[in-house]
Structure 1
Amino acid sequence: MKVALLADNWIHGAVVGDFRGGEGIWGISIHKNLHKLGYTTLFSGNLEETLFQYRMMPDLVKVIIRNEAGQCHNDKDCVKGPDNPYGIPAWKLFEMSYWPDYRLNDKNHPMKGKWLLSAGPDYDFPDFDSSPIQYIGYSTEESCKEIPMIPLEERKNQVWMLMKQILYVYHHRFAWNRTYFPLVHDELGVDFVGGWVLDKDYLGWGKDIHEEVFDIEDHNHGIYNLGMQSSEDFYEQVRNSKIMIGMANPHWSPSPVEALCLGVPFLNPISDWDRDDPWNKSRWDTQHPTLKHYDRPYVYHVHAKNFTGFLEAIETAIKTPIDRFIPEHMTEKAVQERLTKLMETDWRAKAEETLKENMKMVERGEEAYVSAVFCFCFICCFMRVFLL
């Protein structure tokens, strides 16, 4: 009797297809845990289909989750308003944003605040509830625990390089130097193994790289490229590795979390920091911000371009076994608690409360805030009249 419309191609492509990017992992977790909680979910590929589904059961639909929800907000034939009394109420539309992004100045996401759902927590605030946005997060706990751990002494003498594109080691954010890999191999005898391809158009990065791009695979110096891997092959390689090495990209990837769950530590590059206080975590920019809050033997933090730290972290990790590790807020139970809150909250009442607060701001003449909430207020004014 409570329905979530999953109106996003990322979710659909992951649940019924083979998409396993970060957004896909998140989408699978949302879908699976909503079902575990007893809610009904429906997929739709475009707004026309979403609107059709909503109109069949408007009282049952509690939330609609999609990327670029503003496409409905800005379409008078989609959002509920004076000329469209059977449209979707603005307060039921939730924006799916993988990163904890406020998007305060983005006209395509007018609802803001708790109507922005994120896969990663917002560490600018002491707890998740105090953040302006709504952290949902993901968990791979259940599927990960189905994969047996391999004792450290039985694993291959290899580390896993977290890079699906060779451009990662040519990008300006690359944390290390390409010479580090053969140097560490010569020093420790450990192989560097990964699965990457060359795509010069990947995220437009190719235009920023002004040197010729070569594959760094070098069997004589222990560097092996296995190419694109299936999910099964990827997990097999990771659980056979002694540590996973970050490159600075991809940012906030689920892979390090999955590695930790398989008993494989992660080397988390620190791309930026306070030069006067280099171990002040609050000033760090790391590849995986969630994991900067954890320490050895699970997560090894190394400042970019620090070969000594890079070598020492790997040397320590390949000799130090760990158990499975899952951050408490990334368990299935924690995700289910946050999804329950999403589905059971009276968002209409919350929207009206927000409108009242915003109008008070307007009355007090706080012009800077007025521009940020104008679209929100505009939609909510219609909402108060036309909600069911």
Structure 2
Amino acid sequence: MAYHYTPLGKQVGLRRYVPPFLAIFVFLSGLLFIAHSSGVSITGGGSGLHNLSDPGSRVASNSLLPAAGPYHDLAYVPEPHDEITEERKGWKWYNDAKLRALTACQARGDCHPNSAKIVIFNVWYCKMAVFGNYKGGEGTWFIGMKESLERQGYTVLIVDDSWGESYIAHAVSTAPNTFTEETYHIYRQFPNLVTHVVSMEEQHEQKFKEWAKTKDRPWGIPHWKHFRFNYYQTDGGTVVGDRWVITCEPEWKEMDKGFRNFSYIGYAIEKDPDYIPFNERPMRAYVLGKHQTFFYPRAHQAWGLDYYKKALDEIRKEIPKFEMVGSFFDERSQEDQKKEGPLPIPEGIINLPKLGPKEFDNELRKARLLLGIGHPTASPSPYRAMARGVPFLSPFKLMMTPPGREDDPYTWSDSQHDTLRRETPPLVYNVLEFNYTGMVEAIKAAMVTPIEPHVYDRMLQPALDERVRYWMEADWETEARRILDLRLQGTETQRNNWVEVFEM
């Protein structure tokens, strides 16, 4: 299946970016030289060098600094059990160490050529992926981006946008401080080195505008440096235009059928080295999901609650050892559970203990089908399944007006995995929601139809690295100026509703 996305460098153009040597680096480099000459330690404490890609590691595998020497302590990050890192500010220690490391390699003159190109992720999901062990789709996507950026020498900083804490603590419908002053604080120190600032703020009162460059705030962050973190490829925009929205999934629509010109970044998937041959697996469907509420209308319910036991009994007439398994728990608060009553797992599903990522992969590779139930949407799990030779059943919903058709994905109003709408069996079984017969037939087909481990070419590591490199090296300033000039002349080239006249 071909997906239509344009490599950034081909559309926007590439630049050779040589950052100016900032006065702050000159000053700090002088201090470092004096300290080196006199044998004085700049930071004093610190018992070892951390791998900056992993705040909890004591081993330097991809650091800007040598393993020993006068610059060694500049990369010190407190251990995770230190009192200060138990608070919600671990990312500050992480950023400080990154910037000290950058200063040190500038002083030594041995920085990676890309190290003085800084990207700031002002996104709660990104903070939680690194410091909160968040393994959801957004976390998986960010970790993939971060690893690719750091493989290629770029400097990645992480700032907490406070949205999660604000929502959890106050149950607010709008989130204050979703674009934080901390990002602006970093930018103002290194305005020529910060090339990209990423946030989700457009969904939350457009807080970026408080820190953006304007005629009255000429030192603000230029709009052309600001990108929107958009897990889904379905909506959203920025003041400048479409390409300033980065997405986890590629556009599935054809160019002439509503194509949305976002910037697809994505993440990488590897084939499973512990692949279990099809004939050695049990007759098992793994039910995708982790929250018991996913089976109910409050989520994207795809099947009736009685379908599972009914399907189990029917399929066992032909396949006696067939079973459905999953790992679900009730994520609701005790207050909500008392208020709403029980929401049990449907009969017919064997509920396994709570699984971590490794345990999930181990159970997944034993299955012959990953059964979608409507939620979670656009999950990485179907890709992980296919990489293990396990197909995915993706339920979808039809449009009401005009009436949709099962054979035309453009007339579906919703799908558990939009990117896979146009895929076909035996890799992906797209089945209309609440179609019991279609569900059962797809399950039975998957039980007897093997597939080889499958990874899309776009999800291989070299392809990801190429997209990330284009994103970092494209001449966004020139492209933004072209868009703005046409906009001022009355010609709009962007499709989203967020666009405005902005200050370059």
TM over 0.5: yes
Aligned residue runs from structure 1 range 239-254, under 5 A: 239-254=365-380
Measure, in 2, the Cα distance between the counterparts of 1:39 and 1:146: 29
Cα offset, 1:304, TM superposition? 1.6
Larger Rg: 1 or 2?
2
Post-superposition CA distance 1:222-251 (Å, at most 9, x none): x21225321111111111111100011111
> Could you state the TM-score of these two structures normalised by the residue count of structure 1?
0.83
Partner of 2:416: 287
Partner of 1:95: 228
Cα offset, 1:56, TM superposition? 2.8
The question of 1:351 aligning with 2:480 is answered yes
Q: Secondary structure in 1 aligned to 2:303?
A: coil
Partner of 1:323: 452
Q: Secondary structure in 2 aligned to 1:293?
A: coil
Q: 1:6 aligns with which of 107, 121, 134?
A: 121
Post-superposition CA distance 1:320-340 (Å, at most 9, x none): 221111223222222222211
The question of 1:304 aligning with 2:437 is answered no
Q: Secondary structure in 2 aligned to 1:84?
A: coil
Post-superposition CA distance 1:201-240 (Å, at most 9, x none): 79xxx89xx985431354xx4x212253211111111111
Greater share of helix: 1
> Could you state the TM-score of these two structures normalised by the residue count of structure 2?
0.65
Partner of 2:381: 255
Aligned residue runs from structure 1 range 157-168, under 5 A: 157-168=283-294
Tell me how many residue pairs correspond in the alignment: 357
Cα offset, 1:72, TM superposition? 4.8
| Amino acid in structure 2 at the alignment position of 1:179 | D
- After the TM superposition, which parts of structure 1 deviate over 6 Å for at least 4 consecutive aligned residues? none
Post-superposition CA distance 1:5-54 (Å, at most 9, x none): 22222112213431011111111111011122222212222422222222
Q: 1:371/1:306 Cα in 2 relative to 1: closer, same or farther (>3 Å)? A: closer
The question of 1:74 aligning with 2:209 is answered yes
Name stretches of at least 5 consecutive residues in structure 1 with no aligned partner.
384-388
Q: Secondary structure in 1 aligned to 2:500?
A: helix
Measure, in 1, the Cα distance between the counterparts of 2:333 and 2:382: 25
Q: Is contact 2:241-2:496 (8 Å) kept?
A: no
Q: 1:29 aligns with which of 144, 167, 187?
A: 144
Measure, in 2, the Cα distance between the counterparts of 1:99 and 1:318: 31
Partner of 2:324: 192
Q: Secondary structure in 2 aligned to 1:160?
A: strand
Name stretches of at least 5 consecutive residues in structure 2 with no aligned partner.
1-115, 162-179
Q: Secondary structure in 1 aligned to 2:343?
A: coil
Partner of 1:148: 274
Percent of residue pairs identical: 31
Partner of 1:386: none
Q: 1:335 aligns with which of 437, 451, 464?
A: 464
Cα offset, 1:135, TM superposition? 1.8
Measure, in 2, the Cα distance between the counterparts of 1:158 and 1:247: 16
Q: Is contact 1:217-1:225 (8 Å) kept?
A: no
Aligned residue runs from structure 1 range 203-282, under 5 A: 213-216=342-345, 218=347, 221=348, 223-272=349-398, 277-282=405-410
Aligned residue runs from structure 1 range 108-127, under 5 A: 109-126=238-255
Cα offset, 1:315, TM superposition? 1.1
Measure, in 1, the Cα distance between the counterparts of 2:189 and 2:404: 60
Q: Secondary structure in 2 aligned to 1:4?
A: strand
